[in-house]
Amino acid sequence: MFNNKLVESLSKSSMIRAMFEEGARLKKIYGDDKVYDFSLGNPEVEPPVQVLETLKNYVNRGEQGLHKYMNNAGFPDVRQKVAAYVQKNSGVQMNENNIVMVCGAAAGLNVTLKAILNPGEEVIVLAPFFVEYGTYIEHANGKTVVVNTKKDSFQIDVKAVEDAITEKTKAIIINSPNNPTGVIYSRESLESLNQAIERKEAELGISIFVISDEPYISLVYDGAEVPNILSIFKKSIQINSFSKSLALPGERIGYIAASSNIPEVGTLISAMVTLNRTLGFVNAPSLFQKVIADNLEVAVDTESYKKKRDLLYNHLTEIGFKCIKPDGAFYLFVKAPIEDDVAFCASAAKYNILIVPGTGFRGPGYVRIAYCVDIGMIERSLDAFAKLSKEYGLR
């Protein structure tokens, strides 16, 4: 009766939704402060004061023409500022014609995949990964090819990626810092991936895009390096969003930066601009284009996230859970003490702890804990985690 493909994908994204609904149910019974909801990647912090001040200034100034239809790529002055920022960070020559302003990373990914994929072409994703990639690829008539990252470290398994490349491979999606693991892919692995891609391109006579989904690029701890994708991969497309870095997920703002090294990049950008319109986004919100253009170097307070990461990571590892210490994003990807991560999440819910099974991210045997929550809630949850650990005899 409805769109079959879409109805099928609804069931795949249901795990996080199920947790969200369970949270609402438990809060009604036990009260808000007795439920520890780590299920969603929705930042609890407010946008930086500087960003809110810029917003107020634009509203108060009454700038003429701010709210009109525009070039669907976005305001030229905004795209110029973004291009200069991207060039500064990557060393790759960029101008406003390399940039399309979009409604967040989700829109950027949909626009990009639709622009490059012909029916049946393959996109490699590195598991565990953000659940929605599969849906986006399918809606662009592509085929998702899942390649696991290395066991326990979650770093790229370059050999496995190389083996998965076929004549039909059109793109690889990279997400670092990663949702759900928080891992940053090492420079060494990215450079070796680049060599593998070039080898395969020459062998198979194909051309592969590297799509870098970077909503967590500013959320990095202890001075960890996030290698710049544009500077490593020739045919790279960077998708950035301000949903997490400026805590603006409701405002739907981000950009696509397509490398000048992509042959016929002008045609690619034109296709993206058309898709921005035909997919119904039309253009990114005008007011927030201006706001982010004045705040490209700003980010939320990463120290507060680091404090939350350390509090939870230290406690969980002390009470016997196993987890890699993430260098970025705001997730812990914890090994479930039993094979069945879905069953383990159900056990956690008995202590009013809401966490998401790794299976939903193609990372079975693990659970994702989103710590972008109030630190008070983390503190209140520690005892519940200790009880959970005791149930499984972890200490």
State the nearest-atom distance from the C-beta of 69 to ligand PLP, in Å: 23
Q: Which is nearer to ligand PLP, 94 or 105 (CB)?
A: 105
State the nearest-atom distance from the C-beta of 344 to ligand PLP, in Å: 22
Please list every residue from 196 through 215 that binds ligand PLP, using CB under 6 A: 213, 215
Terminal CA-CA length for the chain: 53
Stretch that binds ligand PLP, among 186-194, 241-249, 315-323, 383-391 (CB under 6 A): 241-249
CA atoms within 13 A on the CB side of 275: 23
Please list every residue from 242 through 281 that binds ligand PLP, using CB under 6 A: 243, 249, 254
Is residue 104 within the footprint of ligand PLP (CB under 6 A)? yes
CA atoms within 13 A on the CB side of 243: 24
Q: Which is nearer to ligand PLP, 371 or 385 (CB)?
A: 371
Q: Which is nearer to ligand PLP, 104 or 360 (CB)?
A: 104
Q: Which is nearer to ligand PLP, 23 or 128 (CB)?
A: 128
Of 93, 76, 126, 63, the C-alpha closest to 287 is 63
213 DSSP β-pair partners: 239
**What is the C-alpha to C-alpha distance for residues 80 and 268, in angstroms, rounded to an integer?**
18
Is residue 43 within the footprint of ligand PLP (CB under 6 A)? no
Is residue 285 within the footprint of ligand PLP (CB under 6 A)? no
State the nearest-atom distance from the C-beta of 71 to ligand PLP, in Å: 21
Is residue 106 within the footprint of ligand PLP (CB under 6 A)? yes
State the nearest-atom distance from the C-beta of 178 to ligand PLP, in Å: 7
Residues present in the chain in total: 395
Strands 331-335 and 322-323: antiparallel
For 295, residues 6+ apart whose C-beta sits below 8 A from its C-beta are: 48, 50, 51, 54, 246
Could you tell me where the DSSP H helices lie in 129-228?
132-139, 158-164, 187-204
Site string for ligand PLP, 168-197 (x = CB under 6 A): -------x---x------------------
- Nearest 5°: the CA angle 82, 87, 93 is 115
Query: Helix count (H) and strand count (E) of the chain?
Result: 14, 13
Instruction: Point out which residues bind ligand PLP (CB under 6 A).
Output: 41, 104-106, 130, 175, 179, 213, 215, 241, 243, 249, 254
